[in-house]
Structure 1
Amino acid sequence: MTGYQHIPHGFEPVFDERSRVLVLGSFPSVLSRANDFYYGNPRNRFWRVMARVLGEPVPADEDIPAKRRLLLAHGVALWDVVQSCDVRGSSDASIKNVVPVDVARITSVSPVRAVLCNGGTAGRLYHRWLEPQSGLAAQVLPSTSPANAAWGEERLAAAWSEVLSPLLP
């Protein structure tokens, strides 16, 4: 297990009693953990894609309250599938010894009617660990990670919009 560390998630989910869509990543990257919030790598296109789909300005990288407001104003919750795991750096492919989050923490207080996974790893982990508890099937969307170089930002926004827009109020 050279290079592996057991890492806890480190920060709270974003949700409130009006959240109708739950977006799940796999596990925070090294930069996200350092910034203490989701999608902290400025090369990750998540915040630009979400702002575009939601028809809002892109929040500044360091403006965590604006990022929370962006999601909550549109009924979107955000979390990751993994509460803690053994991982090498930011590599989703290296995730082992998963301790999943307690998804009921959100679904028991929010009227979540759709789960969207940001990438294949989040989708596989959700299907294995969380779908049996939530009873909600997830739709897997293309990853906004810079590692998914085959998908440009425009194409990502179109794919995310096609799925997310009909779920919004």
Structure 2
Amino acid sequence: MTRLHGLPPIENPEACALVLGSMPGGASLRAARYYAHPQNLFWTFMGDLVGASPVLPYDVRVQHLRDAGIALWDVIGACEREGSLDSAIRGAVANDFATFFATHTKLRAVLFNGATAETTFRRQLPDTIVPADVALVRLPSTSPANRSIPTETKRLAWRDALAAAGVRVRPLPPV
């Protein structure tokens, strides 16, 4: 099985929301960019909510996230996996969240991009690692493998969670 290493965080010490995926998929690792799979809805949602549209160059999208107060990382720093499915992850090692939380003191919420990110975080890390005033919120995965929830339902959940964390989100365009 192939040993994989994740991407560095997109961070801003002033961030109020930390979005956590599980581990980047193959397309993202090859591109060295978060959510690089063209069918993943993450950048579409971020375009709607904070102006980080998928049509913009990656570095501009990243800056929009930072400016909006959103940090982005993954729970898993290294693992073994064949393919891109979360269900194929073995030997997961978590990223260094103790240091991250110590240096990002304005966080109000950790937003998990799907169930695997949340369950891995809770399994790998002690409860005491998260500051008491930081909410942990599981959101519907933006992955193309998650087709069980309608896109608009997902987009509204992301909007509401980001707004609750203190991110100034744009009014949503009509569907």
TM-score (ref. length: structure 2): 0.86
Q: Is the 2:9–2:72 contact (alpha carbons within 8 Å) kept by the matching residues of 1?
A: yes
Instruction: Give, in whole Å, the separation in 2 of the partners of 1:101 and 1:130.
Output: 10
- Aligned to 1:71, which of 65, 71, 80? 65
| Bigger shift: residues 97-106 or 79-88 | 97-106
Instruction: Give, in whole Å, the separation in 2 of the partners of 1:49 and 1:151.
Output: 15
Aligned residue for 1:112, secondary structure, equals: coil
The equivalent of 1:6 in structure 2 is 3
> Alignment RMSD, CA only?
1.6
- State the aligned residue count: 163
Q: Is the 2:86–2:116 contact (alpha carbons within 8 Å) kept by the matching residues of 1?
A: yes
The equivalent of 2:14 in structure 1 is 18
- Aligned to 2:115, which of 108, 114, 120? 120
The equivalent of 2:28 in structure 1 is 32
- Report the CA distance shift for 1:128/1:51 in structure 2 as closer, same or farther (over 3 A): same
5+ residue gaps, structure 1 = none
| Bigger shift: residues 157-166 or 126-135 | 126-135
Q: Does 2:156 align with 1:158?
A: yes
- Aligned to 1:107, which of 88, 93, 101? 101
Deviation at 1:155, TM superposition (A): 2.0
Amino acid at match of 1:159: A
The equivalent of 1:142 in structure 2 is 140
Deviation at 1:51, TM superposition (A): 1.9
Instruction: Give, in whole Å, the separation in 1 of the partners of 2:53 and 2:150.
Output: 17
| Bigger shift: residues 16-25 or 144-153 | 144-153
What do residues 103-154 of structure 1 show as CA deviations (whole Å, max 9, x unaligned)? Answer: 1332112121210000000010111123532245521000000001122332
5+ residue gaps, structure 2 = 169-175
| Bigger shift: residues 80-89 or 122-131 | 122-131
Instruction: Give, in whole Å, the separation in 1 of the partners of 2:123 and 2:76.
Output: 11
TM-score (ref. length: structure 1): 0.89
Which structure 1 residue ranges, 4+ long, deviate > 3 Å from structure 2? none
Instruction: Give, in whole Å, the separation in 2 of the partners of 1:130 and 1:112.
Output: 18
Q: Is the 1:21–1:76 contact (alpha carbons within 8 Å) kept by the matching residues of 2?
A: yes
Deviation at 1:37, TM superposition (A): 1.1
Instruction: Give, in whole Å, the separation in 2 of the partners of 1:22 and 1:137.
Output: 10
Deviation at 1:49, TM superposition (A): 0.9
Instruction: Give, in whole Å, the separation in 1 of the partners of 2:66 and 2:126.
Output: 23
